[in-house]
Amino acid sequence: MTNRERIDRLEIEKQLPKEDWVQLLSTFTTEDREYAAEKARKISTGIFGKTIYFRGIIEFTNICKNDCYYCGIRRSNDAVSRYRLTLEDILECCQEGYENGYRTFVLQGGEDGWFTDERMEEIVRAIKERYPDCVVTLSIGERSRESYQRLYDAGARRYLLRHETASPVHYAKLHPAVQTLANRMRCLNDLREIGYQVGCGCMVGSPYQTAEDLAEDMLFMGKFRPHMIGIGPFIPHSQTPFRDFEAGSVETTLMMLSLCRIMIPEVLLPATTALGTVRGDGRQEGVLAGCNVIMPNLSPLSVRKKYMLYDNKVGTADSAADGMARLAAQMEAIGYQVVSGRGDSPRMQG
């Protein structure tokens, strides 16, 4: 079976056996990738048109209890200048975003114990009261099911939690022993059962990753069927144990994105900041590979360079208006239009 035949089979069956995933992801050519991208692009425009949804990210704390070996804000990095935004700071970010057309706010931060359920409930409720037509998305890591339920009851409706890798062995190479893939999967299942629109995803080219690991990611995502998938290339940070590893492949990242679109046609698929960091036209290439979401930064300019998960992160100097204008121009250059709106998953409105 050729790789094109594997891609055709995926389009029909929405999954492949592991050995076919391994073969496809380890031997694809530029022509194979372009073939997958063309299919993915047709699927995406058939469902969403040539429109790109955007979400405003507010990085409200860079304090984290975890010590993930790849992350620039890991607990052991003493060189980071730590911060927390106040409720007033967060609402100011929302106001600037709202005035520029944002209708989804993504509260993203390290696993900071200061932000208890009570404090997070207050933040979510305040945003929903002030902007009832907007969606609050959370990306704040592993919490208890009770915590997720309380935040859902407060008004949060989406949750982003990358699984990072679906291989327990590989997961153990990226995290200290106290962090487990089993708990990460427990969180994702809790979120889905509660009723969130759930996003998962992985890093491409992370240290020690194999084609078998990527195959496990595709098998997991095909079974879990998230509402959103976030995939970006690994980018090393100079103050982590993985500082000397090479960045992940843009080509493999784009191939994975196209395959995700083919496998789960209605999925919300961001062209990630990491993709735009590794390559200047990375987000445009992501859209041409089947992506339909962009996530600009709404964080205060004063703290953006303190939230460095990896080195040389793009967009740290753009205001909300400038960031939107830049991204809109990039999308228009390839024939797409950035649209204001909630941008819900077709499988779950509300």
DSSP string, 174-224: HS-TTS-HHHHHHHHHHHHHHT-EEEEEEEET-TT--HHHHHHHHHHHHHH
CA torsion sign for 61, 225, 135, 117 is: negative
Binding residues for (3R)-3-methyl-D-ornithine: 139
CB 200 within 8 A of CB 188: yes
What are 328's two structure tokens?
């809109």
- The residue behind tokens 């390559």 is 279
Q: How far is CA 120 from CA 42, 136, 148, 193, in A?
A: 40, 11, 10, 20
What are 93's two structure tokens?
């970010």
Binding residues: 64, 68, 71, 139, 164, 184
Separation of first and last alpha carbons in the chain: 43
Binding residues for S-adenosyl-L-methionine: 164, 184
Binding residues for [4Fe-4S] cluster: 64, 68, 71
Summarize the chain as % helix, strand, coil (round to 5).
45, 15, 40
